[in-house]
Structure 1
Amino acid sequence: MKLEDLGYNRQFETYRLEQGLEVFEIGRVVAEHKERYAVNTLKGEFEAEITGNMRFTARSREDFPAVGDWVALTAYDPDFAIIHQILPRFSVLKRPAVGHFGEIQIIATNIDFAFVVQAGDRDFNINRLERYITICHSSNVHPVIVIGKTDLIDDVKLNEILRTIKARIPNVPVISISNETRRGYDEITSIIKNGKTYCMLGSSGVGKSTLVNNLSGKTLMKTETISESTNKGRHMTTHRELIILGNGGILIDNPGMREVGMADVETGLETTFDTIIRLSQNCRFKDCTHTCEAGCEVIRAVENGEIDRASYGNYLKMQKEKAHFESTVAERKRKDKMIGKWVKNYKKNVKKNGNGYTD
């Protein structure tokens, strides 16, 4: 195996040489388990952890390795290696961390294409689809929409779904598949190229793990049927893992996401909702919110049917979530700054008085 088989390219090699990292092994993080990482190198797979300095200087979760990262490491034996540095990422799929104030959760890094999977029989939701597409656009990842379980719906329903997608998301490829009959698999495999990295995005129970198994020709991911009591998919994939496919493509499977929040997605919103952004340039006020202002071109276009009303509502909702996330990040930075100032003053007093207390 060559590093190029894992997605290594000239840009990564140039950085390695410029930074003087020749003394280290280079590998790619293929799995993550509670801050321990499985890393593939030319010498095989190693279980690794980061240096104490990396942990100490990390400002956020984004400074830790993630599945898809290229890292410089020292390998001692298969059960012990130390990661010294993360090579610059060319793409980062991320979202707000659930339950963690103002933090980011990295989904995967160095991704070329994302298969955004929804089930045609019960999971299809155009608003959620726009969210995934926006995340991809903001992350420098090329999205491909995959509508699965088409064997469970008729052609009338499928054509209705495809028309809806074309009207709302016109510039993204769409493939309809069946994991049972393998309908549409030729289209998917034609997209997968040697040395390129792909990931699966979508809710639990939409058929992502079955698709991974079928593409790889192996039972790599555990699968289970939809829960009859809740009508929701059971969450079977519990961690992120990198898989090498038979045709040389590299695939990362991700846990199903019940929440798809908006973080740093300004560029993504501009791309997904390009019609709204383009028309907004003609609004009377530069700071127009497109909600109630006189002379708003976006509102005019919605009222005239030029912009889909539901898509417009989804855009406003995502803008609001993005603004909320940005405000929480700003608040967190403010609090961290206050704590840092307090610690600095405390250390100064300790040095001055020997006990941390002033007279």
Structure 2
Amino acid sequence: MNSAPPDGGAALRAIGWPFPGVPEEAGDPAWAAAMAAHPQARPARVMAQHRSGYLVAEGPVEGGAVESLPEWQRPKFPPEQRPAVGDWVLVEEASIVALLPRRSVIKRGAAGEHYRQQVIAANVDVVLVVCGLDADFNPRRIERYLLLVRGGGAQPVVVLTKADRADADVDAALAALAGVAGADVPVLAVDARDRDSVAVLETWLRPGVSAVLVGSSGAGKSTLTNSLLGSERMKTGEVRSSDERGRHTTTHRALIPLPSGACLIDTPGMRELKPTGEEDLAEGGFAEVEALAQQCRFRDCRHEQEPGCAVRAAIESGALDPARYASYLKLRDEVGAAAGKLAGRRGSKRDEKALGKAPNKRLDDRYGKR
């Protein structure tokens, strides 16, 4: 690149640029190599994703529309390899010329029968898992979020909204999540409409930090965003009184600079949380169950009627919640099935490449290389 911006990169750092300078002090060989390959390009961050292009910004101001690379529009191009909100790209004129390597990525298995991955957000430091203290409260769903988040390289923080409700039992909710979250995951109860209440989140929303909000519709993500912004920027809606289910008020992912100096990505509610097959149950929050399984007398113990089963003993003694163990088994099977589909997809791609090269090889053998 020709030179650093005149402000020394302060504008980029305001939207999460992870390095002290641009680009000479990038400090990451992969990023430095990508920028060296496009010396006329400027770094920018994806603020919103549209069908054929992106909205990107080079500072905490309104971004501009840019076109994507042609190959990203091909139907068979892996969706997880396209830029997502939070990604850093290199831009020339009004077109993206390169996607910079991701430092973290939060993704899930996309809905549908065919295996696909969907990126929720890229290059985030903190994931705020938002759950309401009403009918939305579901420890099993929070387990799924934590499994996906921990595998993505970001710090999860569970935020329980609607703590102001008359029927909200904060102590019971915290107790229910004690074994789910573990000692390394903060669990905070807030009134999302109260700026003073949500100020407790400022510890994780310091200048330069990139965070993403995830949770179901109606959990209070947009209300929380408005309180953090200090203005009614995001559209909010009421939950249905019949079942306390929320309606989608956020329809697309968008990156928003906060007054604290952090950046926040608000996402649409997600009803389905499928693993990608790349998750590790031990690192994803089920370390205690995995450790118990290692203590069983038999290595192939199915934790049913076998003698010396440490898992069954823990359940019978009350040390392990049966519901948590049932959730572990369900997620273990889902991760295993997704891993099998992922391996099959990677194998088929290798076969396609080999078949594509075969005709050329036969021509080379017959006529020689030119």
TM range (shorter): 0.7 to 0.9
Does the 8 Å CA contact 2:240/2:246 hold for their aligned counterparts?
yes
CA RMSD of aligned residues (A): 2.9
Q: Which string of whole-angstrom CA distances, capped at 9 and with x for unpartnered residues, describes residues 106-133 of structure 1? A: 0001111111111102110111111111
Instruction: Report deviation, 1:269.
Output: 4.2
Corresponding residue of 2:173: 161
Corresponding residue of 1:2: 11
State the SS of the aligned residue for 1:262: coil
Corresponding residue of 1:45: 63
Corresponding residue of 2:7: none
Q: From the superposition, tell whether residues 175 and 161 of structure 1 become closer, same or farther in structure 2 (CA, over 3 Å).
A: same
Percentage of pairs with the same residue: 34
Corresponding residue of 2:4: none
Corresponding residue of 2:126: 113
Does the 8 Å CA contact 1:138/1:268 hold for their aligned counterparts?
no
Does the 8 Å CA contact 1:126/1:165 hold for their aligned counterparts?
yes
Report the AA paired with residue 163 of structure 1: A
Instruction: Report deviation, 1:215.
Output: 0.8
Q: Quick one: which of 41, 55, 61 aligns to 1:24?
A: 41
Q: Distance in 2 between matches of 1:3 and 1:58?
A: 33
Corresponding residue of 1:308: 321
Does the 8 Å CA contact 1:118/1:147 hold for their aligned counterparts?
yes
Q: Distance in 2 between matches of 1:50 and 1:72?
A: 11
Report the AA paired with residue 217 of structure 1: G
Report the AA paired with residue 70 of structure 1: W
Instruction: Report deviation, 1:2.
Output: 1.7
Does the 8 Å CA contact 1:237/1:254 hold for their aligned counterparts?
yes
The 5 A counterparts of 1:320-359 are 320-337=333-350
Q: Structure 2: 5+ residue runs without aligned partners? A: 1-9, 366-370
Instruction: Report deviation, 1:233.
Output: 0.5
Q: Distance in 2 between matches of 1:92 and 1:315?
A: 23
Q: Distance in 2 between matches of 1:73 and 1:51?
A: 11
Q: Distance in 2 between matches of 1:267 and 1:46?
A: 38
Corresponding residue of 1:66: 84
Does the 8 Å CA contact 1:139/1:268 hold for their aligned counterparts?
no
Instruction: Report deviation, 1:51.
Output: 2.1
Q: Structure 1: 5+ residue runs without aligned partners? A: 353-359
Instruction: Report deviation, 1:350.
Output: 10
Q: From the superposition, tell whether residues 150 and 332 of structure 1 become closer, same or farther in structure 2 (CA, over 3 Å).
A: same
* Counterpart check, 1:151 vs 2:186: no
Corresponding residue of 1:355: none
Q: From the superposition, tell whether residues 57 and 101 of structure 1 become closer, same or farther in structure 2 (CA, over 3 Å).
A: closer
TM-score by length of 1: 0.86
Q: Distance in 2 between matches of 1:273 and 1:38?
A: 38
Report the AA paired with residue 226 of structure 1: V
Report the AA paired with residue 181 of structure 2: I
Q: From the superposition, tell whether residues 33 and 56 of structure 1 become closer, same or farther in structure 2 (CA, over 3 Å).
A: closer
Instruction: Report deviation, 1:313.
Output: 0.8
Q: From the superposition, tell whether residues 263 and 17 of structure 1 become closer, same or farther in structure 2 (CA, over 3 Å).
A: closer
Does the 8 Å CA contact 1:243/1:251 hold for their aligned counterparts?
yes
* Counterpart check, 1:245 vs 2:258: yes
State the SS of the aligned residue for 2:280: helix
Q: Distance in 2 between matches of 1:177 and 1:274?
A: 28
State the SS of the aligned residue for 2:90: strand
Q: From the superposition, tell whether residues 308 and 230 of structure 1 become closer, same or farther in structure 2 (CA, over 3 Å).
A: closer
Q: Distance in 1 between matches of 2:254 and 2:73?
A: 23
The 5 A counterparts of 1:205-224 are 205-224=218-237
Q: From the superposition, tell whether residues 292 and 331 of structure 1 become closer, same or farther in structure 2 (CA, over 3 Å).
A: farther
Q: Distance in 2 between matches of 1:57 and 1:233?
A: 32
Q: From the superposition, tell whether residues 213 and 181 of structure 1 become closer, same or farther in structure 2 (CA, over 3 Å).
A: closer
How many matched pairs?
Answer: 347
Instruction: Report deviation, 1:101.
Output: 1.2
Q: Distance in 2 between matches of 1:24 and 1:286?
A: 56
TM-score by length of 2: 0.84
Q: Which string of whole-angstrom CA distances, capped at 9 and with x for unpartnered residues, describes residues 309-345 of structure 1? A: 1111111111111011112223334444555566666
State the SS of the aligned residue for 2:27: helix
Q: Quick one: which of 25, 39, 51 aligns to 1:34?
A: 51
Greater mean deviation of Cα atoms: 272-281 or 64-73: 272-281
Q: Distance in 1 between matches of 2:100 and 2:91?
A: 11
State the SS of the aligned residue for 2:297: coil
The 5 A counterparts of 1:276-295 are 276-290=289-303, 293-295=306-308
Does the 8 Å CA contact 2:128/2:156 hold for their aligned counterparts?
yes
Q: Distance in 2 between matches of 1:348 and 1:57?
A: 27
Q: From the superposition, tell whether residues 218 and 184 of structure 1 become closer, same or farther in structure 2 (CA, over 3 Å).
A: closer
Q: Which string of whole-angstrom CA distances, capped at 9 and with x for unpartnered residues, describes residues 225-251 of structure 1? A: 112355310011111000000110110
Instruction: Report deviation, 1:285.
Output: 4.0
